[in-house]
Amino acid sequence: MPAQLVTCGEFAVGVGGEFEKECARELRDKLPEQYVIATNVYVLRGGPGGGEFYECDAVISAPGVCDVLEMKCIRPDAIVFEDLMTSQTGFSSDRIFSKLNDKAKILTSRRERSPFPLGQKHRNTRIGSQVVVPSDTRVTFKFSPHATSKRVMTLAETVEKYRSISRASPAFQDTVTTRENLSGWSAYRNESVRGQRRTPQHLGRFIIRRQMRRENGIFEYCAVDEPPCKMDVLLREFPFDPTLPAAQMQAYLQAVARETRVLMKLRHPYIACVIGHFQTGASWVQVSDWFDGERLEDSWQLIAESSVWDKINIFLKVIEALEFCHERGVFHRNISAESVRVASDFSDVRLVGFDCALDLSATATTNSAASNKRDPRLIPPEELAAGGTKNARLSDIFQAGVLLYRLLEDGAWPFTSTFEYATSSAAIRPFVGPARDRETEALRQAAFRMLEVRPENRPDLLSKLKQELQAVFA
């Protein structure tokens, strides 16, 4: 029989939460049934009536055994000092063992009250603590007492430790104590779980309101900053690849931080503003201003019900953002309905998704991995030709033309792929029906010009195009 899993609260979000789940599964499946693994245990600091909680990632309990486990998804190396853990990526966890000791003391006090069993066999159990890291993490101790006591173990070592205890301890044959222990933790879970679910989850110093998306291994969250700021923010969490050697790990971090380096020098009302970043033990996190809007790609039904004035309003704001970028030597290269967020009433817009951007002032000017993942209907014709593009501004104008076409056609694409379009006598899917007014006709003609196969035939500069469209709608 496997160990008993008692889930007291919700797992953490993102990469850290995935590791907590992995630990819970491994401990449950590989330890004998006498063990209770209580996950996400919240205990009140200061006793009954206190307002703050300590969270224990897991508590492992059995006859004569009770330890608080702290799960730290640190890869590929964990360097352990007296009260600090660091990694080669620059992540650090300060006062980690002091906090663990505090949790163990508070849990010791809490276990002296109902619903936990109060018999002598249970009261004589000393509560310990330990940090658990992934099985493939290399642990280096810089503080010899921790090396002796093994305060940090891999998940595989942790499983073997508790299996050895169960084989060596006669107390594990005491079925009454085992049953009382399980009953106590089950009762604790039942009486406290409602309050625990109100306890916020954190990523770094930020409180997670909700997870918004998980796509291509990247997590997005709506979050709020810690007091006294309490500002809403958008977090994007990029996991580490634990198999990468140190040099490749640094290269990966440089790559995922590339968009942030670009955006931190772009301050414009219609561009998503990055305000910071930080690391966890297993991920890199980008922090942006919060914008209460949806991706344009998810809003086509609303677009279909809106006026041509709403559509040009969205498009002109995107053009203004692009014009600002071009003036500063930044070219987006992936303009699409996925990279535009709009407010519910279309009054506000944010341009996002700069992971493919070309930054003329940067040492590494392109991100080929991200560029290769673009939708084939967004790749400008000149990028398919030998030698690539010579004027990145005109490539952005082509993609903006695709966006304008889709705005006018409520999400429909002008062609199935750029390659087919560029090699079939420039055949664009005809607009549905005649234009209802001169403004719509003007926008259709602008889209045709922006979608010209030959870059030199497209409108240039964006400021001129913007003036033309504004004149139509004046």
Domain boundaries, the chain: 4-199, 203-289, 294-472
What is the arithmetic mean of pLDDT over 267-285?
A: 89
Contacts of 85 (CB under 8 A, 6+ apart): 72, 74, 78, 79, 92, 93, 96, 131, 152
283-289, strands of its sheet edge to edge? 201-203, 206-215, 218-224, 232-239, 283-289, 274-279
Highest mean pLDDT: which range of 40-54, 282-296, 315-329: 315-329
Bridge partner list, 94: 84
Question: What is the rounded radius of gyration, in angstroms, for the C-alpha atoms of the chain?
Answer: 28
State the angle between helix axes of 308-327 and 392-408 in degrees (0 to 180), rounded to the nearest 10. 170
Kindly report, residue by residue over 33-88, the tens digit of the pLDDT.
999 999 999 887 765 445 567 889 999 999 999 999 999 999 889 999 999 999 88
138-141, strands of its sheet edge to edge? 92-94, 84-86, 77-80, 138-141
140 close to 80: Cβ distance less than 8 angstroms: yes
Between 79 and 472, residue with greater pLDDT:
79
pLDDT band at 199 (very low <50, low <70, confident <90, very high): low
What is the secondary structure of 151-193 as a DSSP string?
-EEEHHHHHHHHHHHHHH-GGGG-HHHHHHHHHHHHHHHHHHH
For β-strands 4-7 and 36-44, DSSP reports them as parallel
Q: Looking at residue 89, what is its pLDDT? A: 79
pLDDT band at 122 (very low <50, low <70, confident <90, very high): confident
Mean pLDDT of all residues belonging to the chain: 88
CA distance 262 to 271: 11
Cis peptide leading into 48, omega within 30 of 0? no
Contacts of 385 (CB under 8 A, 6+ apart): none
Residue 223 DSSP class: E
Between 419 and 199, residue with greater pLDDT:
419
3-state secondary structure of 25: helix
Q: Looking at residue 352, what is its pLDDT? A: 94
pLDDT band at 149 (very low <50, low <70, confident <90, very high): very high
Q: What are phi and psi of 465, to 5 degrees?
A: -60, -40
CATH of 294-472, one of 1.10.3720.10, 3.40.50.620, 1.10.510.10, 1.10.287.1080: 1.10.510.10
Between 247 and 78, residue with greater pLDDT:
78
Instruction: Locate 395 and state its tokens.
Output: 């490539």
Q: Looking at residue 198, what is its pLDDT? A: 47
Kindly report, residue by residue over 375-421, the tens digit of the pLDDT.
889 999 998 876 666 788 999 999 999 999 999 999 999 999 898 88
Q: What are phi and psi of 207, to 5 degrees?
A: -90, 125
CA distance 178 to 388: 70
4-7, strands of its sheet edge to edge? 4-7, 36-44, 53-62, 65-71, 128-133, 152-154
Residue 144 DSSP class: H
CA distance 139 to 78: 5
Architecture of domain 203-289: 2-Layer Sandwich (3.30)
Q: Looking at residue 213, what is its pLDDT? A: 83
pLDDT of 244 above 70: no
Bridge partner list, 377: none
Amino acid at 70: E
pLDDT band at 184 (very low <50, low <70, confident <90, very high): very high
Between 359 and 1, residue with greater pLDDT:
359
470 close to 316: Cβ distance less than 8 angstroms: yes
Fold match flag (203-289 vs 294-472): no
Q: Looking at residue 157, what is its pLDDT? A: 97
pLDDT of 356 above 70: yes
